[in-house]
């Protein structure tokens, strides 16, 4: 009498042998321990499946009386038919007395990476692991590394992208960074950190033998009397600067105004996106990916800030509020040169971009805002007062208090730029 029993496939063991198919490989469940499934159609081909579910092809063979294994590639990146053809190619090598592993290593050594190729791999595989604000910053600075790209002065100063990265020398890196440090020491330090990251990435992939950009100490310039400090701008300076902002091209004009109205970080303000502006709730949300401390931040929009944003909206169709007029779809870059032009035009020598944040923080405090609320407005990680233990348990965002403080600053700033403040002082004199 025939049996109607359900016939099940033999369970996969550490060394199962089977004619591989794409459907079968896709259907392999994540094992408790790594397993290797041997292909019965092309001997020597195996599929490895790790306990994390990672599936890859490899070639298992004997050479000089020794069992060896050569990785072919990840399943999905490499097709089954391609893996089988690769194994046939490796078998021909073995029959000719060649070790496929050694031949692959030899080809790799004979085909080194160029500096530009290493950078592209770094951008593709490492940058996506960083937060978005850091990605944007690094992508901007990477241009300075390659000759012919980046800012005008970097076009002749950068490195030849077609040069093999393994042939680059430490003294060249030092001389390059020292050239930048003469006029921009902070820029030099940040580019050094970026270069060190690229060489570390390359060393891990055996494209270079050592990280020649690591642990480079750059001589910092002695601070001169003319070095600009972050200051609390006085009323006369604020009035002059606001007028200069009005006369500057967009969107830089509006960005400088927003910095003076809301006191947020310049780097975070440059990344302001329309989708995070809530005109109904009169609020700007800065996602954690864009903040310096990785904490999501809610910024109440006062009346003048709303006017600036609404005026700008018809002209900015991209995702960024302050979109670059040169690189469409990208935010504007650092505006240090624009700040320099405004300093020259107004003769307000104390003006620098960070002084806008310093001024807002100082004036809001003078208007009676508590340190705790001020800390929340500025999105500092540490609380303005009290212990860190208190901060851990206190999750209140002080939205009402922040809005009230920024509204008070709005009214006071408006009185400065309209001249009302001067009239009040005369009346009280």
Instruction: Say if residues 407 and 302 touch (Cβ distance below 8 Å).
Output: yes
Q: Are residues 61 and 200 in the same domain?
A: no
**Residue 325, domain member (yes or no):** yes
Q: Is 171 helix (H, G, I), strand (E, B) or coil?
A: helix
Q: Are residues 283 and 405 in the same domain?
A: yes
Q: Are residues 393 and 254 in the same domain?
A: yes
Q: Are residues 239 and 370 in the same domain?
A: yes
Instruction: Give 114's strand partners.
Output: 164
**Residue 296, domain member (yes or no):** yes
**Residue 139, domain member (yes or no):** yes
**Residue 209, domain member (yes or no):** no
CATH number at residue 69: 3.30.160.390
Q: Are residues 282 and 391 in the same domain?
A: yes
Which residue, of 45, 79, 110, is where some domain finishes?
110
**Residue 241, domain member (yes or no):** yes
Encoded tokens for 28:
């392999």
User: How many residues in the chain?
Assistant: 429
**Residue 222, domain member (yes or no):** no
Which residue, of 204, 227, 251, is where some domain finishes?
204
Q: What's the rounded Cα separation, in Å, for the pair 202 and 396?
A: 45
CATH number at residue 264: 1.10.443.10
The sign one gets for the Cα dihedral 318, 323, 326, 327 is negative
Q: Are residues 265 and 396 in the same domain?
A: yes
**Residue 160, domain member (yes or no):** yes
Q: Are residues 133 and 178 in the same domain?
A: yes
Q: Are residues 264 and 388 in the same domain?
A: yes
Could you list the pLDDT tens digit for every one of the 429 residues in the chain? 443 333 334 455 556 888 999 999 999 998 888 899 999 999 999 999 999 899 999 999 999 888 899 999 899 888 999 999 999 999 998 999 999 888 877 766 656 789 999 999 999 999 888 877 778 888 888 888 988 765 554 545 788 888 889 889 999 999 999 988 888 888 888 899 999 999 999 988 888 889 999 988 876 554 444 455 778 999 999 999 999 999 889 999 999 999 999 999 999 999 999 999 999 999 999 998 888 878 899 999 999 999 999 999 888 878 999 999 888 888 988 888 899 999 999 999 889 999 999 999 999 999 999 999 999 999 987 655 544 444 544 556 789 999 999 999 999 999 999 887 665 544 444
Q: Are residues 78 and 141 in the same domain?
A: no
Tokens 């009035």 sit at which residue?
239
Which residue, of 110, 136, 166, is where some domain finishes?
110
Q: Are residues 253 and 291 in the same domain?
A: yes
- Pairing outcome for strands 45-49 and 66-74: unpaired
How many domains does the chain contain in total? 3
Residue 147: domain span: 115-204
Task: Identify the pLDDT of residue 384.
Answer: 53
Task: Identify the pLDDT of residue 5.
Answer: 35
Q: Are residues 387 and 421 in the same domain?
A: yes
**Residue 344, domain member (yes or no):** yes
Tokens 């001169």 sit at which residue?
224
Q: Are residues 366 and 336 in the same domain?
A: yes
Task: Identify the pLDDT of residue 224.
Answer: 44
């Amino acid at each position: 009498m025939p049996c109607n029993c359900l016939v099940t496939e033999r369970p996969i063991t550490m060394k199962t042998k089977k004619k591989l198919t794409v459907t079968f490989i896709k259907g392999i469940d994540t094992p408790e321990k790594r397993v290797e499934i041997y292909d019965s159609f092309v001997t020597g081909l195996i599929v490895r499946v790790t306990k994390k579910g990672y599936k890859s092809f490899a070639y298992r063979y004997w050479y000089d009386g020794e069992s060896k294994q050569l990785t072919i590639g990840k399943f999905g990146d490499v097709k089954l038919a391609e893996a089988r053809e690769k194994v046939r190619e490796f078998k021909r090598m073995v029959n000719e007395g060649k070790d496929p592993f050694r031949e692959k290593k030899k080809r790799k050594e004979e085909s080194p990476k160029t500096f530009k190729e290493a950078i592209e791999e770094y951008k593709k595989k490492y940058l996506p692991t960083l937060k978005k604000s850091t990605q944007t910053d690094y992508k901007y600075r990477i241009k300075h590394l390659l000759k012919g790209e980046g800012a005008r002065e970097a076009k002749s100063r950068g490195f030849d992208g077609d040069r093999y990265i393994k042939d680059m020398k430490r003294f060249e890196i030092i001389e390059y960074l020292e050239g930048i440090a003469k006029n921009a020491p902070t820029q030099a330090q940040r580019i050094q950190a970026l270069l060190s990251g690229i060489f570390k990435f390359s060393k891990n992939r055996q494209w270079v033998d050592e990280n020649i950009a690591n642990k480079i100490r750059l001589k910092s310039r002695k601070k001169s009397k003319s070095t600009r400090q972050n200051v609390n701008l006085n009323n006369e300076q604020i009035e002059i600067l606001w007028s200069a902002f009005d006369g500057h091209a967009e969107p830089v004009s509006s960005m400088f105004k927003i910095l003076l109205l809301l006191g947020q970080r310049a780097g975070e303000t440059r990344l302001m996106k329309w989708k995070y502006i809530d005109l109904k709730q009169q609020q700007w949300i800065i996602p954690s990916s864009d903040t310096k401390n990785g904490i999501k931040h809610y910024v109440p929009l006062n009346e003048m800030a709303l006017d600036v944003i609404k005026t700008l909206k018809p002209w900015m169709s991209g995702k960024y509020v302050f979109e670059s007029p040169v690189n469409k779809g990208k935010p504007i870059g650092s505006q240090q040169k624009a700040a320099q032009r405004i300093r020259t035009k107004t003769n307000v020598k104390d003006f620098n971009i960070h002084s806008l944040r310093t001024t807002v923080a100082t004036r809001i405090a003078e208007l009676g805002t508590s340190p705790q609320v001020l800390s929340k407005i500025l999105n500092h990680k540490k609380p303005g007062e009290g212990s860190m233990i208190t901060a851990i348990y206190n999750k209140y965002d002080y939205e009402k208090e922040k809005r009230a403080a920024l509204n008070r600053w709005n009214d006071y700033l408006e009185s400065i730029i309209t001249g009302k403040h001067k009239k009040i002082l005369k009346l009280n004199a």
